[in-house]
């Protein structure tokens, strides 16, 4: 298993929950421990902890939580 390097996260990468559902798109890293997502259909940004990131692939950030957990626990800003 490779080490997770949050600096490999690319702007506009898809954010995919562990169940395979796309939950958002990367806006940028917000500090060292939060990932800010682009605005959703309702016009809100969301923050997710980088601790939820299980893997970073080319143009994809794979989370270690399913979409229901993500949407229940992310922070709307």
The pLDDT score that the predictor gives to residue 2 is 52
| Residue-level pLDDT, tens digit, the chain, 77 residues | 456 788 899 999 999 999 999 999 999 999 889 999 999 988 999 999 999 999 999 899 999 999 999 999 999 99
Gap between the Cα atoms of 43 and 3, Å rounded? 34
Gap between the Cα atoms of 74 and 35, Å rounded? 10
Could you give all domains of the chain from N- to C-terminal order, each with its CATH number? Answer: 6-76 (2.30.30.240)
Under 8 Å CB-to-CB from 32, ≥6 apart: which residues? 6, 50
Contact 18, 7 (CB under 8 A): no
At residue 26's C-alpha, the angle toward residues 21 and 73, to 5°, is 60
């Amino acid at each position: 298993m490779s080490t997770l390097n949050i600096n490999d996260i690319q702007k506009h990468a898809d954010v995919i929950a562990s169940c395979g559902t796309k939950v958002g798109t990367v806006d940028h890293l917000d500090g060292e421990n939060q990932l800010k997502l682009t605005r959703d259909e309702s016009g809100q940004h969301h923050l997710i902890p980088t601790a939820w990131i299980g893997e970073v692939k080319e143009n994809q950030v794979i989370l270690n939580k399913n979409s229901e957990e993500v949407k229940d626990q992310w922070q709307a800003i």
